[in-house]
Amino acid sequence: MRALIDRSRATPSLSCVMPAYNEAGHLAQWVPDVLQQLQALGLAIEIVLVNDGSRDDTAAVIAALCTVHPEVVGLDLSRNFGKEAALSAGLDTAQGDLVLLMDADGQHPVSLVPEMLQRWREGADVVYAVRKTREDQSAVHARLTDGFYRLINWGARVKIPAHAGDFRLMDRRVVEALKAMPERNRFMKGLYAWVGFQSTAIDYAPLPRIGGESSFGLRGAFGLAVTGMLAFSITPLRALAMVGLCLSMASLLYGAWVIAEYFFWGINVPGYATIVVGLMFFSGIQMLSIGVLAEYVGRIYEEVKQRPRYWVRERMGRGLSAAPTDPASQ
């Protein structure tokens, strides 16, 4: 563990972690621009580029950048492990006293980094950026996102800040805490909140993509939401318990009503339709409950196998390190 430093006077080193997937078309122009802006801060800088199994020439572009710029470190993962794993690979590799997480598509404004750095000097361990608007997304996507944050924070002990993405500056202590988390199915937004530390938010408006198209649509967002819900919330189980309780109460009340009709008014209730509807309804509830439980059990199964979160095929460049490191798994 590194010793605490006087933040008001310190000149910390900074690692910028960028996961990249099919970003070959603009990395060669974007990364030098980011490097130049970060070096203007007067800090020792490294940029960690993580190629998450891209199908284009992203790996070759990263290799070329590592050759031209000694501040750039490249990680070429053996396949597409997903953004959460790519972020974890970058965090494991970053050497700086501070770690900045950014997307490689140019939507995160580098101009906010000086403000983030100032907030760190004032005592914040985590400075995260919150989207002011979702005009770049469809109305359905935006509403589903709002609903997800309400649902996952319902009854949760650790609240996840709404609309806060991966764009953030973190102190080395926070990074070490994240690296110590053992989860294989990682939901980074939940992990950021779980480790705690003093955090502060700043608003930002995402910039237009500098090239390419986003590969993270509704399907990817839904998959990440499921992972987050199962990893950081027991809301689905609580909801099923409440549904079961309500159905049990409703069935008791309905049974009492049928008995009352028979004994007090002499009405014989036809049973065939009621039985069929009841069986179909309760069978659906049971299948839903089994499906939710199976998701939890499946996640447990994946965790107990203890497979690596990712595998590095090749490491390139040196960054802040004085010597290159052999490829390794984490």
* CA–CA gap between residue 261 and residue 264 (Å, rounded): 6
Residue 186 within a domain: yes
Task: Report the percent of the chain where pLDDT is more than 70.
Answer: 68
Q: For the residues 84-108, what does the mean pLDDT come to?
A: 88
* CA–CA gap between residue 87 and residue 261 (Å, rounded): 64
Model's pTM, two decimal places? 0.71
Number of structural domains found in the chain: 2
What is residue 327's predicted lDDT score, i.e. its pLDDT?
40
What is residue 274's predicted lDDT score, i.e. its pLDDT?
64
Q: Are 126 and 201 in a shared domain?
A: yes
Residue 58 within a domain: yes
Residue 330 within a domain: no
Q: Are 160 and 197 in a shared domain?
A: yes
Q: Are 258 and 298 in a shared domain?
A: yes
What is residue 46's predicted lDDT score, i.e. its pLDDT?
92
Q: Going edge to edge, which strands form the sheet with 14-20?
A: 199-204, 126-131, 164-171, 98-101, 14-20, 45-51, 72-77, 312-316
Task: Report the percent of the chain where pLDDT is more than 90.
Answer: 6
Does position 21 have pLDDT exceeding 60, yes or no?
A: yes
Does position 198 have pLDDT exceeding 90, yes or no?
A: no
More confident residue, 44 or 268: 44
Residue 54 within a domain: yes
Range of the domain at 119: 14-215+308-316
What is residue 322's predicted lDDT score, i.e. its pLDDT?
44
More confident residue, 153 or 104: 104
Q: Are 139 and 187 in a shared domain?
A: yes
226: confidence class by pLDDT, cuts 50, 70, 90? low
Does position 263 have pLDDT exceeding 90, yes or no?
A: no
* Cα radius of gyration (the chain): 25
Does position 140 have pLDDT exceeding 70, yes or no?
A: no
80: confidence class by pLDDT, cuts 50, 70, 90? confident
